[in-house]
């Protein structure tokens, strides 16, 4: 089959699918921007069929939904979804908007949904047809080929239960389409499971506290899927490592973290016990707990404003390399982050010394966004000033708020910090963050 090098425009694609009775469809596109642009192009195409009855039903659902979630009224596609019955769905949209789309799609009122491949793994939309536009996808590390499991998740959305005897998968022509590769992936077995079990400070603290000695913690690690997976890989590659050497490789990251925790007083390695500080640190389900733990021990949170506490927590809750614009933090916030950087360096030095990959840098732009939002900035202004996608902002502020709620549980060990964190969480988790 000869590969076509000319992209099929979204309006022509939807018209063609309608002509073959292949709507509703989920059209997978490689980027968020392409999803938004495709929905807008179809809505602007005057040749698309007008369906007055379905349009009226969409308007009714939209109005009822907006009464509970008024933030959707200001969404850039608010008119588009009602009038044209098409929508874009990806992580850049706020959660309430995505929920509205799901309600309309489940009700059978949308003709097409333009989505990124990540949607396939998390949401079950009823669609007659799935359209694959690319054999590649764009992840955090740039462009890469789709995996067999990703493609199977995407194509598995084709066919509405109870309405379609079969589902259809259409390969749309385009510059980066590869029918031969897609055919190979469809026949390929699912990708092998990959263990997510990792040696972390929190897992070590909880395991040691539960089992009371390092030997039993080591036995638990050896029962993990990660250990069994490593053992199979060693056998497959005919490595000479014995069971004991493999066990040492699995256990070594725990030993290194144990040395770090011992240095900062969260465990006593000589008695193989978790200290009082280690017990409350083990209860914190947050990113980079050691940094936050040391800040708590030093009293960093005790006299902060709620907006400053939110900014500081956002700086560690955010991905280090994600930008939330160039909005400047207050002078006080900048000073707080500067002092916190000194703590980061001190912790990183001990981690380096013990063979642990140091903590990533803190995120100043995330701190600025969280500080301004918690200080009372309106949502539209925050979006405009940061120039971040709304979904990314919601995710940042939600993670920050949940982390602050974790700190608010430390009323016995850190009462001042807990009270400030509780107040900050209540403010930051307001609409549309929730």
Report how far residue 182's alpha carbon sits from residue 161's, in angstroms, rounded to the nearest whole number: 25
pLDDT grade for 137, boundaries at 50, 70 and 90: confident
pLDDT for the residue 4 = 40
Instruction: Please check the confidence at residue 254 and state whether its pLDDT lies above 70.
Output: yes
Stretch 296-321: mean pLDDT, rounded?
95
pLDDT of residue 136 exceeding 50? yes
pLDDT reading at 360 higher than 50: yes
Which residues, 6+ apart, have CB-to-CB distance to 396 below 8 Å? 314, 317, 318, 322, 324, 366, 369, 370
Question: What are 232's two structure tokens?
Answer: 């199979």
Least confident of 15-29, 137-151, 223-237, 291-305: 223-237
Copy the structure tokens of residue 272: 């193989």
Mean pLDDT of the residues in the chain: 87
Instruction: State the fold for domain 286-434.
Output: Sec63 N-terminal domain-like fold (1.10.3380)
Confidence of residue 140 (pLDDT cuts 50, 70, 90): low
Per-residue pLDDT reduced to its tens digit, 13-46: 999 999 999 999 999 998 889 999 999 999 999 9
Phi-psi category of residue 59: left, alpha or beta, with phi > 0 → left and psi -120 to 50 → alpha: alpha
Give the helix/strand (H/E) hosting 339.
helix 331-353
pTM metric for this prediction: 0.79
- Pairing mode, if any, of strands 112-115 and 86-89? parallel
pLDDT at position 187: 83
The total number of residues shown for the chain amounts to 434
Taking CA atoms, 53 is separated from 82, 100, 107, 223, 255, in Å, by 11, 19, 13, 59, 66
Q: Compute CA distances 240 → 206, 244, 247, 386, whole Å.
A: 33, 11, 13, 54
- Per-residue pLDDT, 331: 95
Q: Which two structure tokens, joined as six digits, stand for 8?
A: 């099929």
Residue 327 has φ and ψ, to the nearest 5°, of -65, 130
pLDDT of residue 319: 87
Residue predicted with more confidence, 399 or 326: 399
Q: How do residues 387-408 score in pLDDT, each as one tens digit?
A: 899 999 999 999 999 999 999 9
What are the residue ranges spanned by the domains of the chain?
A: 10-187, 193-283, 286-434
Tokens 């999803």 found at: 35
Which CATH number does 10-187 carry? 3.40.50.300
pLDDT at 299: 96
């Amino acid at each position: 089959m000869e590969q076509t090098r000319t992209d099929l425009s979204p309006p022509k694609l939807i018209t063609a699918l309608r002509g073959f009775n292949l709507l509703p469809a989920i059209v997978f596109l490689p980027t968020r921007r392409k999803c938004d642009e495709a929905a807008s192009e179809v809505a602007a195409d005057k040749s698309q069929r007008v369906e007055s009855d379905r349009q009226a039903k969409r308007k009714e659902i939209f109005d009822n939904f907006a009464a509970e979630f008024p933030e959707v009224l200001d969404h850039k596609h608010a008119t588009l979804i009602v009038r044209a019955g098409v929508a874009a769905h990806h992580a850049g949209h706020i959660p309430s908007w995505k929920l509205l789309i799901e309600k309309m799609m489940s009700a059978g009122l949308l003709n097409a949904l333009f989505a990124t491949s990540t949607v396939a793994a998390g949401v079950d939309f009823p669609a007659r047809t799935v359209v694959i536009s690319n054999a590649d996808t764009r992840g955090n590390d740039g462009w890469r080929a789709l995996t067999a499991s990703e493609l199977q998740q995407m194509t598995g959305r084709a066919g509405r239960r109870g309405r379609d005897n079969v589902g259809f998968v259409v390969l749309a022509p385009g510059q980066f389409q590869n029918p031969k590769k897609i055919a190979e992936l469809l026949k390929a077995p699912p990708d092998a499971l990959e263990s997510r079990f990792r040696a972390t400070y929190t897992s070590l603290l909880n395991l040691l506290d539960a089992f009371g000695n390092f030997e039993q913690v080591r036995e638990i690690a050896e029962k993990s899927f990660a250990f069994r997976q490593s053992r199979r890989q060693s056998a497959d590659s005919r490595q000479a490592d014995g069971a004991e050497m493999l066990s040492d490789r699995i256990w070594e990251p725990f030993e290194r973290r144990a040395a770090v925790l011992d240095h900062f007083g969260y465990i006593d390695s000589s008695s193989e016990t978790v200290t009082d500080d280690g017990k409350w640190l083990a209860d914190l389900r947050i990113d980079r707990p050691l940094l936050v733990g040391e800040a708590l021990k030093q009293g960093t949170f005790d006299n902060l404003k709620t907006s400053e506490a939110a900014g500081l927590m956002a700086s560690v809750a955010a991905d280090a390399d994600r930008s939330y614009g160039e909005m400047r933090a207050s002078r006080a916030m900048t000073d707080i982050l500067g002092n916190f950087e000194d703590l980061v360096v001190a912790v990183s030095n001990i981690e380096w010394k013990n063979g642990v990959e140091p903590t990533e840098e803190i995120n100043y732009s995330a701190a600025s966004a969280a500080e301004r939002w918690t200080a009372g900035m309106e949502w539209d202004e925050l979006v405009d000033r940061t120039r971040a996608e709304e979904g990314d902002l919601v995710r940042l502020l939600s993670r920050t708020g949940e982390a602050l709620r974790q700190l608010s549980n430390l009323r016995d060990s850190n009462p001042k910090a807990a009270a400030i964190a509780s107040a900050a969480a209540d403010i930051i988790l307001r609409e549309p963050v929730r």
